[in-house]
Amino acid sequence: MAPAAHSLAAGSGLTTTKAAFIEQARAHGDVYIHQPYELYSAENHATWGRLLARMHERWERFANHRYLQGLEALHLPAERVPRLEEINRFMQPLTGFVARPVSGYVPSYVFFDCLRRREFPTTVTIRDGSHLEYLPEPDIFHDVAGHVPMHTDRAFADALVRFGECAAAAAEIASRIADEHEKLRRLTSNIRAMSRFFWFSIEFGLMRGAEGALKAYGSGLLSSFGELEHAILAPAVDRAPFEIARVVNQPFEIDHYQPRLFVVDGFDHLYALADELEDWIVQGRLDDVAGGDPPVSESDLRSFLEAGAV
């Protein structure tokens, strides 16, 4: 490693957007990396501890019970950033899922395909200690404390695998469309629809519990001190029943609290919806969803086209 890069790594540890190790991996085009645990700074570990400590009371009040059970099963360390191998030792026997370290953004198809193999692309950097609130970039607190406890639940884990199967179906269908323009148009619509479904369930989903209480299961809520309470209690939030037709046509923005959320009845319901999503793809019912956010990038499209070409 060059001296300049070394001093940057030593100075900022594995802080989001400031980690030289990650910048180098990305410059090399490496998506899958190892978790360079020795690079975490004392401040990185302290940030993890502060993020975790303040969430417990909120999780007790607002998280669904399967999340709370998952949290218990994982034994997340209170005072330091967790090692992904430690987490996987607890998680893999339960549902087969493993957290796999990545250098950052993973193109859409590659991401969904990982889920199909029961691998969860996991960010290893952690947010700057001076900004504990929600940030648009994922970090290890969002990925591990927000997502991973849910991966210990069988129905939830199976629903994630269904996303991977939906993506495979979309890639396969696109590969059979001869007209290039039509192929890209439909694929763009399918990817946008899947991203919205994923966002309003896995990232920001709410669930009506057995006693009728509203609880969060979405990782974006479960990793946000402010938005978790807001999502459940704020009168301004529109909480609608989760219907595929509505969700896939609902644009979202990632840089502020969500004004509209969708509610499922349970994890079996979520699994049934993910199952139905694949039927919608096969039937062409996601070929013309409303435009708008999220944007579908060139690399997202390419990832699907390359998968379909295999």
Summarize as ranges the residues that interact with Fe ion (CB under 5 A).
Answer: 219
| 101: Cβ contacts below 8 Å, ≥ 6 apart | 32, 33, 34, 35, 84, 122, 123, 124
CB nearer to Fe ion: give 138 or 308: 138
**Shortest Å distance, C-beta 191 to Fe ion:** 17
Which residue's Cβ has the minimum distance to Fe ion?
219
Looking at the DSSP assignment, which residues form a beta bridge with residue 99? 120
Among residues 12, 41, 189, 223, which one is catalytic? 223
**Catalytic residue of the set 12, 103, 142, 165:** 142
- Report helix, strand or coil for 61: helix
Which residue lies nearer to Fe ion by CB, 46 or 135? Answer: 135
Q: Could you tell me the smallest distance in angstroms from the CB atom of residue 182 to Fe ion?
A: 32
**What does the buried/exposed string (b/e) look like for 233-244 if buried means 16 or more CB atoms within 10 Å of the residue's CB?**
eeeebeeeebeb
* Catalytic residue from among 147, 165, 224, 303: 147
Phi-psi region at 69: left, alpha or beta (left = phi > 0; alpha = psi -120 to 50): alpha
The residue assigned the tokens 């417990």 is 56
Q: Which is nearer to Fe ion, 9 or 270 (CB)?
A: 270
Residue among 41, 165, 189, 203 flagged as catalytic: 203
Give Cα 7 distance to the centre of its chain: 32
In the annotation, is 165 catalytic?
no
Of 47 and 219, the one with the shorter C-beta distance to Fe ion is 219
Q: Closest distance between Fe ion and the C-beta of residue 138, in Å?
A: 5
The whole-angstrom separation of Cα 197 and Cα 199 is: 6
Whether residue 142 lies in the annotated active site: yes
Identify which of residues 183 and 197 has a Cβ nearer to Fe ion in the complex: 197
Tell me if the bond preceding 294 is cis, omega within 30° of 0: yes
Beta bridge partners of 32: 102
CB 139 within 8 A of CB 126: yes
Which among 21, 157, 168, 166 has a CA at the least distance from the CA of 91?
A: 157
Tell me the closest approach of the beta carbon of residue 302 to Fe ion, in angstroms.
Answer: 22
Which residues on adjacent β-strands are paired with residue 215? 207
Active site residue 147: yes
**CB nearer to Fe ion: pick between 20 and 114:** 114
Q: Minimum distance from CB of 220 to Fe ion (Å)?
A: 6
Q: Which of 73, 116, 123, 112 is nearest to 97 (CA)?
A: 116
Q: Is 12 a catalytic residue?
A: no
Q: Minimum distance from CB of 37 to Fe ion (Å)?
A: 22
Three-class SS state of 122? strand
Q: Annotated catalytic sites, by residue?
A: 142, 147, 203, 223
